[in-house]
Amino acid sequence: MSGSKRWATTALGLVLTVALGACRSVGTPEQGAPAPAQEDRSATLPSAPTDRPAGLAPGGPLGHIPVKIEGIDAILHSPAAKDPVFQERVGFWVHFWTERQHGHFGRYLQRMGRYAALVDHELEARALPISLRYLPIVESGYLPGAVSRAGATGMWQIMAPTAGDLGLSVGAIVDDRRDPVASTFAALEYLEELHARFDSWFLALAAYNAGPGRVGRILEERGGDPSLSGDEQFLHIRSYLPAETREFVPRFFAAAALASNPTAFGFDSPNPAPIAFDEVTVPDATSLDVVAQAAGVPEDDILALNPHFLRGFTPAGETRVVRVPDGRGDRFAREYALIPPEDRLSFLEHVVASGETFTHIARRYGVALSDLTAMNSQIDPRRLQIGMTVVVPVASSGSGVALTAGASGGADAQGGDGGEHVHVVASGESLWTIARRYGVRAESIAQANDKRPDDLIRPGDRLRIP
C-alpha cells in the first residue's frame, strides 16, 4: 500500500508537445514560409478537395498544405507518401474530418490533449516515430472505453487474442485494454514487433489494422519485387488489402496533418490538463468507492483514472495497482490501512434459497453471470446448497452500498428527534464501516454530523444517519 509517484507528475516537462508547436510539428507552415532548400521534407496533400471548410484559418488552398516535421519522421517523410493515389486518399480524409466530421474530430483533439504526453513519453523512451502519437485518433478518437463491432477495445483498439499475447488481462472484472497506460505500453510494443517483421512502417500500420498474418500472405502472393522498399510494397499490394486497411494509412496521415496544427483547420487547440496520478496497491478485492474515500476524492476521479476495472472493484485474490489523483497516494495508504479487509468491498450477501442457481441470482440482482462467478470462485456453481452465502458485486453503482447479513459492531440505528436515525459508535468502527452498514456514503454521514470524511470518531459517539 504505497503511494508511488508516477512519471506523469515529474516528467511531463520533458515530453515533446508536437501538436502544440514545440520543437516538432506536423502540419501547415506559416503562410509564406519558404520550404527548406536543402531537402524536401514534405508530403503534399492533394488538390482534390478544394472547397475550404468554414472557419479554416488562412494557410493556402488545401491542396498545398504539407505534412511537415522538423527532422525526418520515418513515417510521415517516407517517399511512398508522394504517391498520387495515396495523396488523393489523404486529401479525402482531411476533407471528411474538416467538414462532415468537424465536431467529432474536435472532440478527438480534446481527448488527445489528456493522454498525448503519456504516449509521447513512451515513444521517446522507445525511439519510435513521434507521429505515432496520432494513431489513437484514427483508432478510437483517443477514447479509452471505445469498443468496435469486431471487439477491438480501448484507445489503441486491441483485439483480445493480441492482448493476451502482450500480457494484458481481458476478463469480466478487468480489461487492461481500457487502461491508457498499460494499453499504450502494449500497443507500442506490438508496433515495434510489426515493424521488425515487415521492415516498413506502412506495412506495420496495415498489419496493425488487418493482422500480420493477412498482410504477410498478401505479400507472399502479390509482392515479390526486390527493388521496392517496404513502404513501396504497401503501395504495390494495397489493391489486394481489405478496404478498411487500404484507407488506414492515409487516414493516419490526415489525422497527423490536422492534429499537429488544429487552428489552421478551424479547430480549437487542445487544452485539458494532462493525466497525472499516483499509483497505489491494494492486496485484494477492493471497491473503487472505498479507494476514493481513502484517498479523499470523488469516486468519479478514481473511475476516470481506472477505466479498466469494469465492475468498479479490483479482482479477488490479486494484488493490483490502482491510480489515485496526483498527491493523494500517501493519504490513501494511511487511510486504507485503517479499513478492515471485510469492509473494502461493496457487495450484497445473498442467502441461497431452494431451487436457486447462479443464473437465477445474477438475474435477480442485474449483474453479469461471469461477474458473479468471478466473485465466488471458491463455490462450485453445480453444488449450491440452501443457506449458502453468495457475494453479489454491486460496485460502480455510485451508491457505495454494502448490505450484509448480520453486520457486526455498533448499536442499531435508533429513532432520534424528528425521526432521524442515530448510530452509537462501537470500538473499531469507522465512517466507512458504518456507511456500509446503512447503505449510505461516508461523505453523507460526515456532512450530516458536521464532520469531514477523514475526521476521527470514537466509541460512544452518536452519529446521525441520513
Binned at pLDDT 50, 70 and 90, residue 71 comes out as low
Q: Angle 102-126/180-198 helices, nearest 10 degrees?
A: 70
Grid coordinates of 45: 496533400
Cα gap 381→402, rounded to integer Å: 23
Beta bridge partners of 414: 422
pLDDT digits (tens, 9 = 90+) for 139-188: 999 999 999 999 999 999 999 999 999 999 998 789 999 999 999 999 99
Q: Which strands, in side-by-side order, build the sheet including 277-282? A: 4-5, 277-282, 320-325
What are the φ and ψ backbone dihedral angles of 389, each rounded to 5 degrees?
-100, 125
**Mean pLDDT, rounded, of the chain:** 79
Cα gap 414→464, rounded to integer Å: 9
Full set of structural domains in the chain with CATH: 4-265 (1.10.530.10), 277-343 (no CATH), 347-465 (3.10.350.10)
What confidence score (pLDDT) does residue 315 get?
Answer: 85
Identify whether the C-beta of residue 153 lies closer than 8 Å to the C-beta of residue 169: no
Name the DSSP letter for residue 357: -
Cα gap 321→329, rounded to integer Å: 12
Whether residue 139 lies in the annotated active site? yes
Binned at pLDDT 50, 70 and 90, residue 423 comes out as confident
**Residues making up the chain, counted from first to last:** 466
Alpha helices in 56-175 (DSSP H): 84-95, 102-126, 135-140, 160-165
Identify whether the C-beta of residue 436 lies closer than 8 Å to the C-beta of residue 346: yes
From 278-282, 288-292, 432-436, the region with the lowest mean pLDDT: 432-436
Cα gap 15→22, rounded to integer Å: 10
Residue type at position 427: S
Cα gap 464→117, rounded to integer Å: 46
Residue predicted with more confidence, 28 or 171: 171
Cα gap 68→41, rounded to integer Å: 6
Coil, strand or helix at 208: helix
What value does the mean pLDDT take over residues 449-460? Answer: 78
Grid coordinates of 292: 476514493
Asked if pLDDT for residue 28 goes beyond 50, the answer is: no
What confidence score (pLDDT) does residue 157 get?
Answer: 97
pLDDT digits (tens, 9 = 90+) for 352-400: 989 899 999 888 877 788 878 877 878 888 889 998 888 787 543 333 3
363 Cβ neighbours under 8 A, 6+ residues apart? none
Name the DSSP letter for residue 378: T
What confidence score (pLDDT) does residue 348 get?
Answer: 67
Identify whether the C-beta of residue 465 lies closer than 8 Å to the C-beta of residue 413: yes
Please spell the DSSP secondary structure of 131-182, one letter per residue: GGGGHHHHHHSS-TT-B-TT--BTTTTB-HHHHHHTT--BSSSBBGGG-HHH
Grid coordinates of 55: 472557419
Asked if pLDDT for residue 403 goes beyond 80, the answer is: no
What confidence score (pLDDT) does residue 414 get?
Answer: 52
pLDDT digits (tens, 9 = 90+) for 290-308: 999 899 999 899 999 999 9
Cα gap 374→331, rounded to integer Å: 30
Cα gap 274→180, rounded to integer Å: 12
Identify whether the C-beta of residue 39 lies closer than 8 Å to the C-beta of residue 71: no
Cα gap 109→17, rounded to integer Å: 13
Name the DSSP letter for residue 347: E
pLDDT digits (tens, 9 = 90+) for 52-67: 333 322 222 333 344 5
382 Cβ neighbours under 8 A, 6+ residues apart? none
Asked if pLDDT for residue 103 goes beyond 80, the answer is: yes
The catalytic position among 122, 139, 247, 299 is 139
